[in-house]
A and B are shown apart, each in its own frame.
Chain A
Amino acid sequence: MNHNPQSSDGKHDDDSALSDFLASLMDYTPTIPDELVEHYLSKSGFQSPDVRLIRLVAVATQKFVAEVASDALMHCKARQAAVVKDKRDKQQKDKRLILTMDDLSKSLREYGVNVKHQEYFADSPSTGIDPASREE
């Protein structure tokens, strides 16, 4: 009805934007290689002769990983800022930004991925227990 001509124009625009985007994807080489993406897509049963779709999936994955990494970076920087507040002399030492399991699990939790890292590993079940209770 009223929306039809507008929506059809809009659709044309969207279509053209999408097709332009797919064409531009062939120029932009994502960091994640096509071969890796193709390998896992074929493992999942995904079948397509179009290379642009592979590129699209690669770009989408790169975006996802970048988002997770940037969230982890935020957590890392926040932690360092908190430490610096307590002891000013540590400002010089903790400049290096390192991706740790702690930050990663915090950022992944928002994406629905629950990652729990082992705090420590013990030799036997009774490690760390009071000697008195260990004998029992």
Chain B
Amino acid sequence: MNNGCLEKRKKEGSKSSKFGSKSDDFAVAIAKVAAAQVCESVGFQGFHLSALETLSDITVRYIFSIGKSANFCANFAGRVEANLFDIIHGLEELGSGLGFAGASDVDRCVVNSGIVRDIIHFVGDADFIPFAYDVPRFPVVKELKEIGSFQEKGEDPPGEHIPSWLPTFPVPETYATRSSVENEMMSVPTGKKTESELASIERKMERSLLNLQLRFAKNGNEDGSLHGVGYSGRAREDFEGNPYLAAPLHSGEKEVEVSPVVFPAKLSNEASLRNPVPGNVIVGNHVSVLETFASAIDALKSGLCDSDNGTKKLLSTQRPTLRFKIGIGKKSFGTEPDFNSQKDDNEKDDKKRRVETIL
């Protein structure tokens, strides 16, 4: 009844011991082959797998216990390295259950031990059966690739507080995400994050979206059919109430201080604001991504943009705001927007029409 489950749990628990762990699989496999070979030499023609596994496990434990008792004897004698006598002591301890010749002698000598004589006889009688496979030395020890110190590399440490004998910092490309939009979006993680990490992720998102829109703008310039990115004042006017249009926060600023607007109920949820999923920036309403980042883009325009200002000026005068409608949960950024949502708002109709013209 319940014992069955208990035994199963015990079995699983024992699997995680030092002899059953996954890291030991190779050694256990070798032990199985060795035990099978010994069984074959004794006269068996076959075996049950469970029996072989048990026997190989016992083989491994036997070796381990010899080592343990020999090590104990050596340490007891004040030595670090074990010698022959320690091993014979260990063997005698293990063999004492079954008994060996001369076990009862009070003043027996280790050298003259019955166990050693038994082993000598065994070696003399046994057939020479080498192991079936070539076993490499294991476990393989990987050589650590050492990072040189500042002194060794001849670099100056960035900062006076860093001594030159410390190892150098890792290359920025290995930890800073500066690559394409997709990479950035893929790298945005889910789950709980600290505030500072979330703030940095948000900033990265804003930057990546800005890049994407600039790319659209360039494409729009080329074929002339797209409504490009626009920083029209109208956009700002329409969405003053939207917290996402607030200027991006610099480090150290609090969100509350910057945005003077009253947050709508849905959008004031900190958790949703902090949710770093690029496809669904706003929970609930189908608000376009561009709207939310229009002001951010505007703010970043002067600071981060490398592209020509002329294009942007052209865009602001000629093209109206490009508005995307992003579906929640299914669609990634930039895919076909959802037209099926029913909106009574004129704004939303406006958006719809514009999207239709784009497509």
Chain A interface (Cβ < 8 Å from any Cβ of B): 10-11, 14-15, 17-18, 21-22, 24-25, 28-29, 31-33, 35-37, 39-50, 53, 56-57, 59-66, 68-70, 72-73, 76, 96-101, 103-104, 108, 110-113, 115, 117-118, 121-122, 125-126
Q: Is B1 an interface residue (CB 8 A)?
A: yes
Hey, which chain B residues are within 8 Å of A61, CB to CB? 59, 62-63, 66
B44-67: CB near A (< 8 Å → 1, else 0) gives 111110111011001110111111
Main secondary structure of the interface of A (DSSP, over half): helix
CB of A10, distance to nearest CB on chain B (Å): 7
CB of B206, distance to nearest CB on chain A (Å): 53
Report the nearest A residue to B139, measured CB to CB.
A39
The 12 sampled A-B contact pairs (Cβ below 8 Å) are A10-B112, A28-B123, A32-B34, A46-B67, A47-B80, A48-B82, A61-B66, A65-B38, A69-B55, A96-B46, A98-B46, A101-B51
Q: Is B81 an interface residue (CB 8 A)?
A: yes
Quick one: which of B54, B64, B111 contacts A43, CB cutoff 8 A? B64
Question: Which 3 A-B pairs rank lowest in CB-CB distance, beginning with the nearest?
Answer: A44-B67, A46-B67, A99-B47
Q: Is B176 an interface residue (CB 8 A)?
A: no
Hey, which chain A residues are within 8 Å of B139, CB to CB? 39
Interface locus among B130-138, B143-151, B223-231, B272-280? B130-138
A50 to B74, CA, bound (A): 15
Hey, which chain B residues are within 8 Å of A17, CB to CB? 120
Hey, which chain B residues are within 8 Å of A57, CB to CB? 63, 66-67, 87
Hey, which chain B residues are within 8 Å of A126, CB to CB? 1
**Contacts A32-B38, A97-B45, A125-B5 supplied; 12 other A-B pairs, CB < 8 Å:** A18-B111, A21-B116, A24-B123, A35-B136, A45-B71, A47-B74, A56-B87, A59-B122, A65-B62, A70-B42, A96-B45, A100-B48
Q: Is B252 an interface residue (CB 8 A)?
A: no
A7 to B27, CA, bound (A): 44
Q: Is B122 touching A63 in the complex (CB atoms < 8 A)?
A: yes
Main secondary structure of the interface of B (DSSP, over half): helix
A49 to B30, CA, bound (A): 23
Q: Is A99 touching B51 in the complex (CB atoms < 8 A)?
A: yes
Known: A31-B41, A48-B83, A69-B42. A63 touches B55 (CB 8 A): no
Q: Is A98 touching B45 in the complex (CB atoms < 8 A)?
A: yes
CB of B36, distance to nearest CB on chain A (Å): 9
Q: Is A99 touching B58 in the complex (CB atoms < 8 A)?
A: no
CB of A32, distance to nearest CB on chain B (Å): 5
Hey, which chain A residues are within 8 Å of B199, CB to CB? none
B103-138: CB near A (< 8 Å → 1, else 0) gives 000000101100110111011001011110001111
Q: Is B246 an interface residue (CB 8 A)?
A: no
Q: Is B135 touching A36 in the complex (CB atoms < 8 A)?
A: yes
A44 to B65, CA, bound (A): 8
Hey, which chain A residues are within 8 Å of B78, CB to CB? none
Q: Is A43 touching B67 in the complex (CB atoms < 8 A)?
A: yes
